[in-house]
Amino acid sequence: MTQLESAKEGIISPQMESVAQCEGVEAEFIQQGVAKGTIVIPSNTKHGNLTPCGIGQGLRTKVNANIGTSSDYGNADTELEKLRVAIDCGADTVMDLSTGGDISAIRRAIIAASSLPIGTVPIYQAGIEAIARYGAIVKMTVDDLFAVIEEHTQNGVDFITVHCGVTQSAITRLKQQGRVADVVSRGGAFLIGWMLYNERENPLYEHYDRLLELAREFDVTLSLGDGMRPGSLADATDRPQVEELLTLGELVERARQAGVQVMVEGPGHLPLNQIETNVHLEKAICKGAPFYVLGPLVTDVAAGYDHITGAIGGAIAAAAGTDFLCYVTPAEHLSLPDPEDVRQGVIASRIAAHAGDIAKGVKGAEQWDRQMSVARKKLNWEEQARLSLSPERSRQVHSKHAPAGAACSMCGKFCAMALVEEYLGVSATRC
Ligand code: SF4
């Protein structure tokens, strides 16, 4: 039985127990969330060393780190190093988006080395193999695509992005819309090219039942991709995007009926004032399915700093009910991320996720900040480092300029904390 089928039967699986322990909630809460589809636990039965992670309503907002080679750069070693950095920095999941080198071998190495759930986008590999075999992505056969999906599920991939909502009707809307940036989703672009050339419906939509069967076999969670996500603020929340979301809402219901766990992906580039609306739309149309957003990026002009752009959007999205943030690195729009970009991206998204969790009232979120404030009042630097999102960075910055006393070098002997303690006798122990 899949997690969803177990939960519907009222059975609490070991994965549900583990997630409950991690989140500090009752196992029944997880089981009921999985049964309703508002929580997913991506856990392929073939991913041996996996620590299960719950994503969804009432749980801590999770952060995904994308790694993977491109046709220009990277190999198994570079990607395993990025995986290590992502795990060290506290990512909750990792997606292998490799499009260069021995893609299958890299994926298997990443899965073997990862205790975190691993996600992939099988259409990338299917498209690349079609180029090698036939000279063009558009020559890919439906069986070729499903063979790659099967390979990923059998390898132990825990969740797969499948752009099932890129239908002919969504393409018609795209043409009529007249976008600034058209399509920025690689998977979406592969499929649109294939559909237009072959004058056929999206095979992932047309053969959705076949996809559900493959996913069900090893309990792979479907992450319904947003091939029509806006890649420019000018294209945000437009008709093709909403058309795709309506289709995804229907596919969520079919996945749940088939016993397959499902979440829904979202934008992308969104102005601040449209983020909440997008979250509410997804939650309403997709019946509470966990929402997984890329960023969102709240401006188009911060190249080199898009981890910050994404964290601003991610915090607002998380506060509004988004469950899962895909990180954005400083390399976004510019190059393939290196390990330092991965570090910056994960930390920025974790800040966003935690800020959202405080607003959402996630268990333990507010207390964490309170503990930090108490440690600050006590000038307890080691405790502050321990409580930091990045203890190493905290220690490094604090020791940059040696302080004369117990305070830090910012105010030195005029430390506000120390002065108030001395003259007003206010003790942090009362906090
Ligand atoms: S010196 Fe200034 S910045 Fe440093 S702990 Fe004291 S009040 Fe805070």
133-189: per-residue pLDDT in tens? 999 999 999 999 999 999 999 999 999 999 999 999 999 999 999 999 999 999 999
Q: Whose CA is nearest to atom 6 of ligand 1?
A: 415
Beta bridge partners of 120: 96, 160
Å from CA of 22 to ligand 1 middle: 34
Ligand 1 pocket mutation, candidates 373, 383, 411, criterion most atoms within 8 A of CB: 411
55-86: per-residue pLDDT in tens? 999 999 999 999 999 988 999 999 999 999 99
- Using the structure block, give the residue that is written with the tokens 């959705």: 208
pLDDT of 427: 53
Contact of 92 with 323, CB cutoff 8 Å = no
Comparing 411 with 330, the larger pLDDT belongs to 330
Å from CA of 392 to ligand 1 middle: 19
Ligand 1 atom nearest residue 414's Cα: 1
Residue 429 pLDDT more than 70? no
pLDDT of 291: 98
403 — pLDDT class (breaks 50, 70, 90): confident
Beta bridge partners of 64: 93, 326
Ligand 1 atom nearest residue 403's Cα: 1
Ligand 1 pocket mutation, candidates 380, 381, 383, 410, criterion most atoms within 8 A of CB: 410
Ligand 1 atom nearest residue 412's Cα: 1
- Using the structure block, give the residue that is written with the tokens 């994503």: 55
Distance CA 192, CA 169 (A): 11
Å from CA of 388 to ligand 1 middle: 16
Ligand 1 pocket mutation, candidates 383, 417, 423, criterion most atoms within 8 A of CB: 417
Contact of 326 with 292, CB cutoff 8 Å = yes
Residue 430 pLDDT more than 60? no
Å from CA of 410 to ligand 1 middle: 6
Å from CA of 194 to ligand 1 middle: 60
pLDDT of 425: 67
Å from CA of 134 to ligand 1 middle: 65
What mean pLDDT, rounded, does the chain reach?
95
327-371: per-residue pLDDT in tens? 999 999 999 999 999 999 999 999 999 999 999 999 999 999 999
Q: Whose CA is nearest to atom 4 of ligand 1?
A: 408
pLDDT of 405: 83
Ligand 1 atom nearest residue 376's Cα: 5
Q: Whose CA is nearest to atom 3 of ligand 1?
A: 410
Which two structure tokens, joined as six digits, stand for 13? 């699986």
Ligand 1 pocket mutation, candidates 384, 400, 408, criterion most atoms within 8 A of CB: 408
Residue 426 pLDDT more than 80? no
100-112: per-residue pLDDT in tens? 999 999 999 999 9
Å from CA of 415 to ligand 1 middle: 5
Å from CA of 414 to ligand 1 middle: 8
207-258: per-residue pLDDT in tens? 999 999 999 999 999 999 999 999 999 999 999 999 999 999 999 999 999 9
Å from CA of 307 to ligand 1 middle: 28
Ligand 1 atom nearest residue 408's Cα: 4
420 — pLDDT class (breaks 50, 70, 90): confident
pLDDT of 402: 81
Å from CA of 371 to ligand 1 middle: 17
Å from CA of 87 to ligand 1 middle: 31
Distance CA 405, CA 46 (A): 55
**Is the preceding omega at residue 52 within 30 degrees of 0, hence cis?**
no
Residues with CB under 6 A from ligand 1: 407-408, 410-411, 415-417
What burial letters (b/e) apply to 382-395, b meaning 16+ CB within 10 Å? eebbebbbbeeebb
Burial of 87 (C-beta count, 10 Å sphere; 0-12/13-18/19+): middle
Average pLDDT over residues 13-20: 98
Among 78-82, 219-223, 290-294, 423-427, the range scoring the smallest mean pLDDT is 423-427
Å from CA of 348 to ligand 1 middle: 24
**Is the preceding omega at residue 58 within 30 degrees of 0, hence cis?**
no
